[in-house]
Amino acid sequence: MVQLSSFDVVLIVLFFAITLFIGIYVSKQSGKSAAEYFLSGRNMPWWLLGVSMVATTFSTDTPNLVTDIVRTNGVSGNWVWWAFLLTGLLTVFVYAKLWRKSEVNTDIEFYELRYGGKPARFLRGFRAIYLGIIFNILAMSAVTLAAIKIGAIMLGLQPWETVIYAGTITVVFSALGGFKGVVYTDFILFFTAMAGALGAAYYLVGLPEVGGLEALLQHENVVGKLNILPDFSNTEALITLLIIPLAVQWWSSWYPGAEPGGGGYIAQRMLAAKNENHAIGATFFFNIMHYALRPWPWIIVALASLVVFPDIASIHQAFPLVAEDKLGHDLAYSAMLTKLPSGLLGLVLASLVAAYMSTISTHLNWGASYVVNDFYKQQINKNATEKQLVTVGRLATVTLMVCSALLALVLTNALQLFDIILMFGAGTGLIFILRWFWWRINAWSEISAMFVSGIVSILLNFTDLGIYFFGDEGLFPAWAKFPMIVLVTTIVWVAVTFLTQAESKTVLQNFYKKIQPGGPGWQKIVLEARQENIELENTKAGWSVPSGILAMLVGCALIYSIMFATGYIIYGNYLNGLLLIGAALIFALLLMKLWKKIKVTIL
């Protein structure tokens, strides 16, 4: 536990006051309609939305998660989430403009644009509850768990105290300000969080126990953790940490903020953009900041923690009041922060509060948008007034906060929850990618994938069947569990797609006319319409998806080059760092040329 100076307290109180003021200030305009409350009238610029996306994923559980990964599997263990860059850039260069064209209020509303009849209505309502409430609460509880651990280590707070203090202010400004309040505060939250992360990394490397960056990199506890790529001679580590994430995970699994084809709160921000180009710009900016630059301050602190707190026992010894069920490697990040001096400590605590508030407020507004637009308005009160919709949105916001806080009180580890969410979404991602470009996918495809993925995940993770197949003496190695869920789910949903009736001609034609997805997957529908003297193509431009996929690959090379270059320069390997910077410049020039082919002409 640390002692806060008066200056530290002033910084934190000032930060709280600013965020509350913003929420109250925009509350009147946000309360005018559901569209204002959840999408801010669809007039947001790319830079503000991009910063908001970054701030949202800059949550309190992320540095804890990265610390846990680095201490357990080394720097290369981060490929479990670095692989999602492919998902992110596919969203940027292919799906961002499609989402903005759809003009839906939530990505769940998309179901009744793409599909028809009772299956579409069921899918929309069920997914609203499944994602907006159940998965959303799981994600928020992981963030709140991280806040609880930080509060216990740094301030000696009981779990319920952290939940009350941090949660109350967050839920108040989220409920009042709606989406506009969330995005405006995100702008402040991002810079506060980034300054805190950089300041903490710089100071903590200079601790006498650590001895500076050079001493850190040569320490016996750290040397084996530095590789950015897994050890290629260790087959199991290579498959688990690199091959599965890059070959299977990024396209097959649903995860909040990294949904294949876009979705969730990322889609919410694309839908709120001024136009399609602003949607593309926002998501590209987000991916650069999220993957190329932001992880390194957390990684440096995680490596330094291996010197100061080499194992969990040393953390427990230093902080004996922490409950045993909350002990884990993820505590090392907040344990290191207790060594910060006055002033910087206040800034870092404010940055952690900022990270918590940004993520939770986004999840609250996003989850409430599902409850209001896709469940309450569709299933309960179709004639609800705008005022009623906003009221229900605010009530849903408070309810989601309470439920996630209660769950956080019984959780122990953020990495476990990350793995569970990843498993439950395994095998569904390919549908989210293909449903825009293949007419044959129907509502039953998604319904079957959703249920099979969940059922198989439960069977393999929480029953004797999983132990039989994937235990220490099982028939298959442990790393095969995730691909197995993907394989079973994919086989089932593809079979269901062909065994069930396709969507009606009217639904398919209306979808194509509005979205203009193009490509061979829709040729049958386009040709059939022409035979009926119906022209679905309303653009002379060619199919932009091939250029988009090429841009995705070049963009990945660009961002990974920047990420690797940053790491090598930190490690003192300046030659490789400079070579990668040169490669990044070449990839940037190629991407600029490709961008011209993808950019949408706004009339």
17: domain CATH number is 1.20.1730.10
pLDDT of residue 600: 56
The more confidently predicted of residues 53 and 603 is 53
Which DSSP state fits 44? B
The more confidently predicted of residues 554 and 472 is 554
In a domain, 458, yes or no: no
The more confidently predicted of residues 21 and 430 is 430
Does 462 score more than 80 pLDDT? no
In a domain, 138, yes or no: yes
- Of 157-161, 180-184, 229-233, 453-457, give the lowest mean pLDDT range: 180-184
Q: What is the pLDDT of residues 230-244, one digit of tens each?
A: 877 777 778 887 888
- Of 99-108, 199-208, 357-366, give the lowest mean pLDDT range: 357-366
pLDDT of residue 603: 36
In a domain, 361, yes or no: yes
pLDDT of residue 257: 67
Does 601 score more than 50 pLDDT? no
Single out the residue of 351, 377, 287, 276 nearest to residue 38, CA to CA: 377
∠ CA(360), CA(260), CA(594), 5° rounding? 110
End-to-end CA distance of the chain: 59
pLDDT of residue 41: 65
- Of 10-19, 482-491, 504-513, give the lowest mean pLDDT range: 10-19
Mean pLDDT score of the chain: 83
Most confident listed range (352-366, 453-467, 518-532): 518-532
C-beta of residue 175 within 8 angstroms of C-beta of residue 367: no
- Number of domains composing the chain: 1
pLDDT of residue 293: 79
- The predicted model scores a pTM of 0.82
Does 31 score more than 60 pLDDT? no
In a domain, 471, yes or no: no
Binning pLDDT at 50, 70 and 90, where does residue 218 land? very high
- Give CA–CA dist 71/300, Å, rounded: 11
Q: What are phi and psi of 412, to 5 degrees?
A: -125, -30
Which of helix, strand or coil describes residue 253?
strand
Residues 194, 196, 201, 202: what is their CA dihedral angle, to the nearest 10 degrees? 100
Binning pLDDT at 50, 70 and 90, where does residue 602 land? very low
As a whole number, mean pLDDT of residues 456-462 equals: 80
Binning pLDDT at 50, 70 and 90, where does residue 422 land? low
- Give CA–CA dist 299/170, Å, rounded: 28
In a domain, 580, yes or no: no
User: Which string of DSSP letters, residue by residue, matches 203-215?
Assistant: HHHTSTTT-SHHH
Which DSSP state fits 273? B
As a whole number, mean pLDDT of residues 158-182 equals: 76
In a domain, 56, yes or no: yes
C-beta of residue 414 within 8 angstroms of C-beta of residue 329: no
469 strand-pairing partners: none
As a whole number, mean pLDDT of residues 507-520 equals: 92
In a domain, 480, yes or no: no
Per residue in 237-271, is it b (16+ CB within 10 Å) or e — as a string?
Answer: bbbbbbbbbeebbbbbbbbbbbbbbbbbbbbbbbb
- Give CA–CA dist 347/341, Å, rounded: 10
Diameter of the chain measured on Cα atoms: 79
pLDDT of residue 551: 92
As a whole number, mean pLDDT of residues 519-528 equals: 92
CB atoms inside a 10 Å sphere around CB 234: 11
- Give CA–CA dist 68/160, Å, rounded: 24
Which DSSP state fits 275? S
- Give CA–CA dist 393/179, Å, rounded: 11
Does 56 score more than 80 pLDDT? no
Domain with 84, as residue range(s), is 6-415
Q: What is the pLDDT of residues 131-151, one digit of tens each?
A: 888 888 888 888 888 788 778
User: What residue has token string 């309502």?
Assistant: 125
As a whole number, mean pLDDT of residues 462-476 equals: 70
Q: Is the dihedral of CA 257, 286, 41, 443 positive or negative?
A: negative
C-beta of residue 95 within 8 angstroms of C-beta of residue 262: yes
C-beta of residue 368 within 8 angstroms of C-beta of residue 401: no
Binning pLDDT at 50, 70 and 90, where does residue 416 land? low
Single out the residue of 49, 81, 52, 584 nearest to residue 295, CA to CA: 81
CA within 13 Å, CB half, 584? 17
Binning pLDDT at 50, 70 and 90, where does residue 414 land? low
Name 92's Cβ contacts closer than 8 Å, sequence gap at least 6.
280, 283, 284, 287, 551, 552, 555
Single out the residue of 15, 36, 18 nearest to residue 27, CA to CA: 36
Percent of the chain clearing pLDDT 90 (strictly above): 25
pLDDT of residue 480: 81
- Give CA–CA dist 57/47, Å, rounded: 16
In a domain, 510, yes or no: no
- Give CA–CA dist 12/316, Å, rounded: 27
